[in-house]
Amino acid sequence: MHASAYIRRETAVSIAINVALSAAFFIAVFGVEGLVPVWGIGGYVFDFGPQGFMIGLMATLVPGLLARRALASGKVVRIAGKSGLPAAVLPRAILCGALGAAVGVAASALLLWAGGATQLEWLPALLAKLVFGAVLALIVTPAGLRAELTKR
Per-residue pLDDT at 152: 65
- The chain-wide mean pLDDT, for the chain, equals 96
pLDDT average, residue stretch 36-64: 98
Domain count, the chain: 1
Question: Which residues 6+ apart lie within 8 Å of 125 measured at CB?
Answer: 26, 30, 36, 44
Q: Per-residue DSSP letters for 84-142?
A: SS-SSHHHHHHHHHHHHHHHHHHHHHHHHHHHT-SEEEHHHHHHHHHHHHHHHHHHHHH
DSSP one-letter code for 37: E
At residue 151, the pLDDT reads: 73
Q: What is the pLDDT of residue 85?
A: 95
pLDDT at residue 59 is higher than 70: yes
pLDDT band at 22 (very low <50, low <70, confident <90, very high): very high
First to last CA, the chain: 19
Contact 51, 22 (CB under 8 A): yes
Which domain range does residue 65 map to? Answer: 3-149
Residue pair 18/59 in contact by the 8 Å Cβ criterion: yes
